[in-house]
Structure 1
Amino acid sequence: MASGKRVLLIVGGGIAAYKALELVRLLRKRGVAVRAVLTKAGAEFVTPLSLSALTEDKVYTHLFSLTDEAEMGHIQLSRSADLIVVAPATADLLAKMRAGLANDLASTLLLATDTDVLAAPAMNVRMWSHAATVENVKALKERGIAFIGPDEGDMACGEYGPGRMAEPEAIAEAVMARLDPAARPLAGKRAIVTSGPTHEPIDPVRYIANRSSGKQGHAIAAALAAAGAEVTLVTGPTREPDPAGVTVKHIETAREMLAGVEAALPADIAVFAAAVADWRVAEEAGQKLKKDGSGQIPSLSMTENPDILKTVSGLGGTRPSLVVGFAAETEMVVAHATEKRARKGCDWILANDVSPATGTFGGEANTIHLITGAGSEDWPKLTKKEVAEKLATRIVEHFSA
Structure 2
Amino acid sequence: MLKGKKILLGVCGSIAAYKSALLIRLLVKAGCEVRVIMTSSAKTFITPLTLSTLSKNPVVSSFEKNDQGQWENHVEMGLWADMFLIAPASANTIAKMAHGLCDNLLLATYLSAKCPVMIAPAMDLDMYKHPATLQNLKTLQSFGHQVLDAEHGELASGLVGEGRMAEPEEIVAQVESHFSKKKRFEGKQVLITAGPTYEKIDPVRFIGNHSSGKMGLALAHTMASEGADVELIAGPGNYSIDSDSITLIRVSSADEMLHAVEERYSKTDIAIFAAAVADYRPVSPAEEKIKKAGESMTIELVKNKDIAAEMGKRKSKNQINVGFALETEKEEQHAQEKLAKKNFDLIVLNSLNDNGAGFSVDTNKITIFSVDQKPKHFELKSKQKVAEDIVDCIHEKITA
TM-score in terms of structure 1 length: 0.57
Cα shift readout 1:28-82 (whole Å, capped 9, x = no counterpart): 9876449xxxxxxxxxxxxxxxxxxxx979xxxxxxxxxxxxxxxxxxxxxxxxx
Distance 1:25 1:383, change over 3 A: closer
- After the TM superposition, which residues 158-307 of structure 1 pair with which residues of structure 2 at under 5 Å, given as runs? 168-171=112-115, 180=179, 182-245=181-244, 246-265=246-265, 266-292=267-293, 295-307=294-306
User: Where does residue 365 of structure 1 map in the other structure?
Assistant: 363
Residue 276 of structure 1: how far off its partner (Å): 0.6
Q: Equivalents in 2 of 1:336, 1:278: separation in Å? A: 16
- Alpha-carbon contact 1:192-1:231 (below 8 Å) kept: yes
1:8-47 superposed matches below 5 A: 32-33=32-33
Quote the Cα distance in structure 1 between the aligned partners of 2:390 and 2:236: 24
Distance 1:6 1:338, change over 3 A: closer
Q: Which amino acid in structure 1 is aligned with residue 284 of structure 2?
A: E
Change (3 A) 1:33 1:359: closer
In structure 2, the residue matched to 1:349 is 347
Contact 2:356/2:365, CA 8 A, preserved across alignment = no
Cα separation, 2, equivalents of 1:320 and 1:202: 40
**Contact 2:233–2:251 (Cα < 8 Å) also in 1:** yes
Match in the other structure for 1:78: none
Q: d(CA) in 2 for partners of 1:203 and 1:320?
A: 42
CA contact (8 A) 1:191 1:230 kept: yes
Matched residues in 1 for 2:256 and 2:319: separation?
23
Is the alpha carbon distance of 1:368 and 1:260 closer, same or farther for their aligned partners in structure 2, counting shifts above 3 Å? same
Structure 1 consecutive aligned stretches of length 4 or more whose deviation exceeds 6 Å: 23-26, 28-31
Counterpart amino acid of residue 252 in structure 2? E
Looking at structure 2, the residues matched to 180 and 367 of structure 1 have their Cα atoms a distance apart, in angstroms, of 30
Cα 1:351–1:359 shift into 2, 3 Å: closer
- One-letter identity of the residue aligned with 2:113: E
CA distance in 1, matches of 2:195, 2:5: 39
CA distance in 2, matches of 1:211, 1:167: 28
Runs of 5+ consecutive residues of structure 2 not aligned to the other structure: 11-22, 35-54, 58-75, 83-109, 118-143, 145-174
CA distance in 1, matches of 2:222, 2:116: 16
**Which amino acid is 2:380 matched to?**
K
Percent identity reads 32
**Deviation of 1:217 (Å):** 1.2
- Over residues 332-366 of structure 1, what are the superposed CA-to-partner deviations in whole Å (9 max), with x where a residue is unaligned? 11111001111111111101102486552212221
Change (3 A) 1:351 1:219: same
Question: What residue identity is the alignment partner of 1:170?
Answer: K
CA distance in 1, matches of 2:200, 2:387: 31
- Mapped contact 2:328–2:353 kept (Cα < 8 A): yes
Q: Which amino acid aligns with 1:248?
A: L
Cα offsets for 1:98-152 (capped at 9, x unmatched)? xxxxxxxxxxxxxxxxxxxx9xxxxxxxxxxxxxxxxxxxxxxxxxxxxxxxxxx
User: Could you tell me which residue of structure 2 aligns to residue 330 of structure 1?
Assistant: 328
Aligned length: 264
Aligned to 1:100: none
C-alpha deviation, 1:268, in angstroms: 1.1
Deviation of residue 169 (structure 1)?
2.6
For the structure 1 residues 172 and 362, does the alpha-carbon distance in structure 2 shift closer, same or farther, using more than 3 Å as the test?
A: closer
CA distance in 2, matches of 1:270, 1:316: 10
- Cα offset for 1:298? 3.1
Q: Deviations over 1:137-178 (max 9, x none)?
A: xxxxxxxxxxxxxxxxxxxxxxxxxxxxx975324579x99x
Alpha-carbon deviation of 1:204? 0.3
Q: CA deviation at 1:194?
A: 1.0
Partner of 1:308: 307
In the aligned structure 2, how far is the partner of 1:324 from the partner of 1:304? 22
The structural deviation recorded for 1:262 is: 2.5
Distance 1:287 1:355 in 2: 39
- The answer to whether the 8 A contact 1:267-1:320 is kept is no
Contact 2:187 2:228 in 1 (8 A): yes
Supply the distance in 1 between the matched residues of 2:379 and 2:116 (Cα, whole angstroms).
33
Structure 1 gap ranges (5+): 8-22, 35-54, 58-84, 89-117, 119-165
Do the aligned residues in 1 keep the contact of 2:354 with 2:365 (CA within 8 Å)? no
Q: 2:309, 2:290 → 1: CA distance?
A: 34
In structure 1, the partner of 2:155 is none
Is residue 378 of structure 2 the alignment partner of residue 379 of structure 1? yes
* 8 Å contact from structure 1 (residues 201, 208) kept in 2: yes
Contact 1:221 1:243 in 2 (8 A): no
Q: Could you say what secondary structure the match of 1:340 adopts? A: helix
Please tell me whether the aligned partners of residues 356 and 380 of structure 2 are also in contact (alpha carbons under 8 angstroms): no
Normalising by the residue count of structure 2, what TM-score does the alignment of the two structures yield?
Answer: 0.57
CA distance in 1, matches of 2:298, 2:210: 24
CA distance in 1 between partners of 2:321 and 2:2 (Å): 36
